[in-house]
Amino acid sequence: MTARPLIGVSTYLESGARWGVWELEAALLPAGYPRLVQRAGGLAAMLPPDAPEHAAATVARLDGLVIAGGPDVEPARYGAVRDPRTGPPAHARDVWELALIEAALAARVPLLGICRGMQLLNVALGGTLVQHIEGHCDVPGVFGRHPVRPVPGTLYAAVVPEEISVPAHHHQAVDRLGADLTVSAYAPDGTAEAVELPPARGWVLGVQWHPEMDEDMRVMRALTRAAATAPAGARS
């Protein structure tokens, strides 16, 4: 790979972030995300929340897009009443990331959704979420591990053909699949752990776990390779 593709990664705004003598609002992204992009051969660009009408112009400058993990998706976005165990809404982030997803799908920019990103991809395509499951988020702030089994014949299985143990921390999951999505990996309890669109829709994959917290770079490498074949300047 001679040219390193530019991979945008969505971020979020947090008030009260502290460093040195400062305590200010900050655009945050766990360092594992840009590090994984860089290790996989890409250039990482942070995408803090912006007005949704700027999403298409933002995506047009990217070779690939990652929608990062984070807070629960607002249930009203998939027509559900909020469960008491669902976290507080992140309205600005929902709006911005949904606009990024829609722009990436329209422009056929390679897209990887991670945890919340996979859930939001499902919602963007008309799917719904299970608002609480047990066993995937046992200790707050600590990533657990569990096995993930690929579905033969899928994009994900072509990237990771064997069962692997993955780092995970989530309490929500895909319920009804969005339009054209298929499940391409499962946890032992039947939870959908990866979803994808058919190749005719471009390179689009969502994973429920956190590859940025692992040494296995195959998923991110697959994204950067797909991104490298369609540089931003060559897209119409």
The string of pLDDT tens digits covering residues 71-99 is 999 999 999 999 888 888 889 999 999 99
Q: Which two tokens stand for residue 93?
A: 């982030």
Q: Which two tokens stand for residue 82?
A: 């909020």
> Is residue 192 domain-resident?
yes
Which residues are annotated as catalytic? 115, 210, 212
Which residue range forms the structural domain that includes residue 48?
6-234
- The pTM of the full predicted model, rounded to 2 decimals, is 0.94
Half-sphere exposure of 85 (CA within 13 A, CB side): 9
The per-residue pLDDT for 138 is 66
**CA proximity to 66, closest of 234, 230, 219:** 219
Dist. CA 226–CA 183, nearest whole Å = 20
Q: Is 200 helix (H, G, I), strand (E, B) or coil?
A: helix
Q: Which two tokens stand for residue 83?
A: 């469960």
pLDDT in tens, 9-39: 999 888 888 989 999 999 999 999 999 999 9
The per-residue pLDDT for 16 is 83
> Is residue 140 domain-resident?
yes
Burial class (CB in 10 A: 0-12, 13-18, 19+), 144: middle
The per-residue pLDDT for 235 is 46
Q: Is 3 helix (H, G, I), strand (E, B) or coil?
A: coil
Please name the residues in contact with 51: beta carbons below 8 A apart, sequence gap of 6 or more. Answer: 96
How many structural domains is the chain composed of? 1
> Is residue 211 domain-resident?
yes
Phi-psi region of 196 (alpha: psi -120 to 50; beta: other; left: phi over 0): beta
Residue 189 is given by DSSP the state T
Q: What is the CATH number of the domain that holds 176?
A: 3.40.50.880
> Is residue 24 domain-resident?
yes
Q: What angle do CA 3, 114, 57 make, to 5 degrees?
A: 55
> Is residue 1 domain-resident?
no
- Lowest-confidence pick of 42-46, 144-148, 159-163: 144-148
What is each CA distance from 36 to 105, 172, 179, in whole angstroms? 23, 24, 29
Dist. CA 147–CA 206, nearest whole Å = 16
